[in-house]
């Protein structure tokens, strides 16, 4: 056979269920103390530094990393459980999540030892926020088109150019970015990009907010003008960032955050229809739950592959493709079903407010972290079509 796609039915071990209970209890406590309100989706304040620090205190950031860098040497499956409980609760994870998912693993792999010793423990304590500098104006998913230049100078590089769609750059302490250090060659158009650790809040960087159609400000434009990066902040191979960046993207692809972003509307729909739904509502809910369950089983399966040291690039892309299309459609399907909810449903206003927000959120879900089209290209390559 051409394609051997396997999604073994990995089960979460008992210690994951223990951890899940701890995370749920912690989140309930945080809600009780008013740290965040999951039923207020239009919130401006998704960045809550003290929440990050308390998550760090619990040992839930850098959970799989080596202890000598402040990590906890626990499994990917444990990390999985923490992520999904945070996501389902709509917890304000923005400050630490990118570092936990992507930036930390990149530093572990490519940063010099003194930088790892300095930065990784602070990430684990929930003190640092990271941004990812990949997209540029007119490039997006097309990393080859990146133009922002890193020019050789004494002891380092000078950066000039603009990154865009950079989530959290306005609150970030660091950014991991790719810049052009030389031109692509005829033989290898992927040549010439280098990955750097960028310290934010320094002269030579300007961060300009970009409003989103949800009413939130999460994206930014980041302009570099003769910004200096020292040599020891180069991550990995000069001119060889292409492979590094694509493996970084693999971390972004298959996690529970890739199908749970609009999940809250499903819970609220179930609340609104009550214990004894009509047939139409029951069928709609049943289908959505079956789809959710299936995706989650696929996603857990990929987490199991990561735990086993595999690189499930195609499988992760399939999960992200199906997962993001699903979370994009979910608010619309819930809207269909909500048309039949009784006027007297106690949570009717909450449901409507959440739907309003989820419908506005939906368009971005199939774009962030690699568009559907790019993912399908990766899957097609895995099938032997390219």
Partner 1 sequence: MAESDNIVVETAEKIFADLADPQTINNDKKDAWKAPLWRALSEAGLPLAWVPDDLGGSGASLADGFALLNAAGRFAIAVPLAETMLAGWLLAQAKIASPEGEMTVLPANPKDRITLNPDGSLSGRVRGVPFAKAAKHFAVLAHGKDGASIALVDAGKAKVEAGLNVGYDNSDVVTLDKVAPITIKPAPKHLDQTMMMLMGGVARSLQIAGALESMLDISVRYSNERVAFEKKISKFQAVQHNLAKLAGESAAALAAATSAADAIASATAFNDEVYLEAASAKIRCAEAAEKGGAIAHQVHGAIGFTIEHILHRYSLRALAWRDDFGSESYWAVELGKLVAARGADELWPLVASR
* Nearest distance in Å: CB 369, partner 1: 16
**Alpha carbons 256 and 371: distance in angstroms, whole number:** 17
Q: Which of 209, 211, 215, 167 is CA-nearest to residue 356?
A: 215
CB nearer to partner 1: pick between 163 and 320? 320
> For residue 308, how far is the Cα from the chain centroid?
22
CB nearer to partner 1: pick between 164 and 300? 300
* Nearest distance in Å: CB 213, partner 1: 26
Torsion of CA 114, 116, 118, 121, to 10 degrees: -150
CB nearer to partner 1: pick between 152 and 287? 287
Q: Do residues 299 and 256 touch, judged by C-beta distance below 8 A?
A: yes
* Nearest distance in Å: CB 83, partner 1: 12
CB nearer to partner 1: pick between 118 and 142? 142
CB nearer to partner 1: pick between 275 and 344? 275
CB nearer to partner 1: pick between 274 and 363? 274
CB nearer to partner 1: pick between 24 and 33? 24
E-state strands within the chain: 130-133, 149-153, 156-164, 174-180, 193-199, 205-211, 217-230, 234-235
**Alpha carbons 32 and 15: distance in angstroms, whole number:** 26
* Nearest distance in Å: CB 140, partner 1: 17
CB nearer to partner 1: pick between 50 and 342? 342
* Nearest distance in Å: CB 285, partner 1: 4
* Nearest distance in Å: CB 267, partner 1: 5
Q: Do residues 65 and 124 touch, judged by C-beta distance below 8 A?
A: yes
CB nearer to partner 1: pick between 197 and 300? 300
- Backbone torsions φ then ψ of 225, nearest 5 degrees: -130, 110
Question: Where on the chain is the footprint of partner 1 (CB under 8 A)?
Answer: 1-9, 11-12, 20, 84-85, 88, 263, 266-268, 270-271, 273-277, 279, 281-287, 289-298, 300-301, 314-315, 318, 321-322, 373, 375-377, 379-380, 382-386
* Nearest distance in Å: CB 20, partner 1: 7
Strand partners, 230: 156
Helix extents (H) in 89-210: 94-98, 104-110, 113-124
Helix axis angle for 264-273 and 279-307, nearest 10°, is 150
**Alpha carbons 103 and 248: distance in angstroms, whole number:** 8
Structure token pair of residue 370? 């690699």
CB burial readout 78-111, b (16+ within 10 A) else e? bbbbbbbbbbbbbbbbbbbbbbbbbbbbbbbebb
**Residue 320: CA count within 13 A, CB half-sphere:** 28
* Nearest distance in Å: CB 260, partner 1: 9
* Nearest distance in Å: CB 253, partner 1: 13
């Amino acid at each position: 056979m051409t394609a051997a796609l396997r999604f073994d039915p990995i089960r979460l071990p008992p210690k994951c269920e223990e951890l899940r209970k701890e995370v749920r209890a912690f989140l309930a406590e945080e809600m009780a103390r008013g740290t965040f309100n999951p039923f207020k989706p239009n919130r401006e304040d998704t960045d809550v530094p003290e929440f990050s620090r308390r998550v760090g205190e619990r040992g839930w950031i850098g959970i799989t990393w080596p202890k000598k860098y402040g990590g906890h040497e626990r499994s990917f499956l444990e990390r999985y459980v923490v992520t999904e409980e945070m996501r389902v609760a709509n917890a304000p994870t923005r400050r630490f999540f990118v570092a936990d998912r992507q930036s930390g693993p990149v530093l572990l792999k490519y940063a010099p030892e003194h930088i790892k010793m300095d930065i990784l423990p602070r990430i684990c304590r929930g003190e640092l926020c990271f941004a990812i500098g990949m997209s540029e104006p007119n490039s997006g998913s097309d990393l080859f088109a990146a133009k922002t230049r890193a020019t050789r100078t004494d002891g380092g590089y000078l950066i000039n150019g603009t990154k865009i769609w950079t989530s959290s750059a306005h609150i970030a302490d660091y950014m991991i970015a790719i810049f052009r250090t030389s031109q692509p060659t005829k033989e290898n158009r992927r040549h010439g990009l280098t990955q750097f650790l960028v310290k934010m809040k320094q002269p030579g960087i300007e961060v300009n907010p970009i409003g989103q159609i949800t009413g939130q400000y999460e994206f930014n434009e980041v302009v570099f003008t003769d910004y200096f990066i020292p040599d020891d902040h180069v991550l990995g191979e000069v001119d060889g960032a292409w492979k590094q960046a694509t493996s970084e993207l693999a971390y972004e692809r298959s996690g529970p955050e890739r199908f749970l972003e609009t999940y809250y509307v499903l819970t609220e729909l179930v609340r609104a229809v009550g214990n004894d739904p009509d047939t139409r509502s029951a069928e709609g809910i049943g289908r959505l739950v079956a789809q959710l369950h299936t995706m989650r089983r696929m996603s857990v399966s990929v987490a199991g592959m990561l735990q086993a040291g595999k690189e499930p690039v195609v499988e992760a892309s399939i999960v992200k493709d199906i997962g993001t299309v699903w979370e994009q459609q979910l608010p619309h399907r819930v809207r269909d079903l909500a048309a039949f909810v009784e006027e007297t449903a106690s949570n009717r206003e909450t449901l409507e407010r959440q739907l309003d927000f989820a419908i506005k959120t939906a368009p971005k879900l199939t774009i962030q972290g690699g568009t559907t089209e790019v993912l399908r290209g990766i899957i097609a390559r895995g099938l032997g079509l390219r």
